[in-house]
Each structure stands twice: as C-alpha cells, then as structure tokens.
Amino acid sequence: MPPCPLAAPSSIRTAPPAGPVPRLEIEVIVSHLVRSGAEGLPRDALVLVFWIHVRNGTGESLHDLHLLQRRFSDGSSDELEYDAAPTTLVGRVERIAPGAGFVTAARYTVRPLAARRTIVNALDVRGTGADGVPISGHGRVLIAVDPDRAPSVLSPGRV
C-alpha cells in the first residue's frame, strides 16, 4: 500500500478510572487516499487507514493483550467492517514491556457518498497486568466524511 497523507492525528490516552493503576495508552491516526480506479475500487473511492498505536505506560509488563472493535459505524443500522483484518506492523500484541507497544493498521473503503456522514471507530484493548489484574484501554475517533471535502477528525476522546 502506498504512503497515505494524514487526515488528522487523534491522540487518545486513557487509563482505568479506579486510581493509580497501570495506564494503557491508545493513539489513533487516520489517513486517507483517493483511488483512481486501481485495485478494483470505484474511481475516486475514499480509503481510510486507521493507524492504532498502543503503548504500555506502566512500570511492568502486560500480557495476553487483545485489540477489540467496540463500535465501527456510519450512523446506519449496519456495523461497518474493515476491508481486511487489522494487521500488526510493529511490536508484539501478546506481551508488552514497560514503555513498549505495538502498531496495528486497518483499512476501510468508504461506500459512495450521497451526503455527509460521520464514521465512529471505537476500540478496546484488554489484557492482564504483571500482577494478574485485568487492564483495559478505550479509544474513539469520529471522522467526518463529505462527498465534497477531504475527511477530517471531528472528536478524538474517551468512550
């Protein structure tokens, strides 16, 4: 896949709310490209690439981590699906040392647009801390997709 221009960065850093417990940081960056009929896509198809960076902000190793899709929708009654399963490009999802992390990418081709839509992509990361206690992180990004403009990130934030 050729490099994609960034639509907008969306930094989402979350921690479980119950006090001084380990932090699992999630950063989502959305990039886009417009295709010209190549790769079997309709001319001017809009492709969004979600770059998901998860970082262990704790002082101990985390293990058994899973990246889960909480919600991926454009406001219609149907949930959206990535073009293919997300791919981990850097790092190991199974175990993350303190300060380390992993980067996963997922691609979605937007259906032809007749009107503006807002795409919601909400993610969970769940795993286990070194002490055996469950740990999780949550992230969400809203992307405005308009037939007449480049996509833009509306609201990164916590779910």
**Is residue 158, in this structure, part of any structural domain at all?**
no
Residue-number span of the structural domain to which 32 is assigned:
6-153
Residue 34 domain-assigned (yes or no):
yes
In a domain, 32, yes or no: yes
Q: Which residues have C-beta within 8 Å of that of residue 90, sequence separation ≥ 6?
A: 102, 103
Asked, for residue 67, whether it belongs to a domain, the answer is yes
Could you read off the pLDDT of 24-80 as tens digits, one per residue?
A: 677 777 877 665 555 666 666 788 888 888 888 888 899 988 888 999 998 887 899
- The pLDDT score that the predictor gives to residue 133 is 87
Residue 1 within a domain: no
Whether 135 is in a domain gets the answer yes
Look at the pTM and tell me if it is higher than 0.85.
Answer: no
Domain membership of residue 10 (yes or no) is yes
Listing DSSP states for 129-146 in one string gives -TTS-EEEEEEEEEEEE-
Distance (Å, rounded) from C-alpha 133 to C-alpha 60?
12
% residues pLDDT > 90 (the chain): 16
Domain harbouring 101, CATH code? 2.60.40.1230
Count of domains for the chain: 1
**In the structure, what pLDDT confidence band is assigned to residue 87 with cuts at 50, 70 and 90?**
very high
Cα Rg of the chain, angstroms? 17
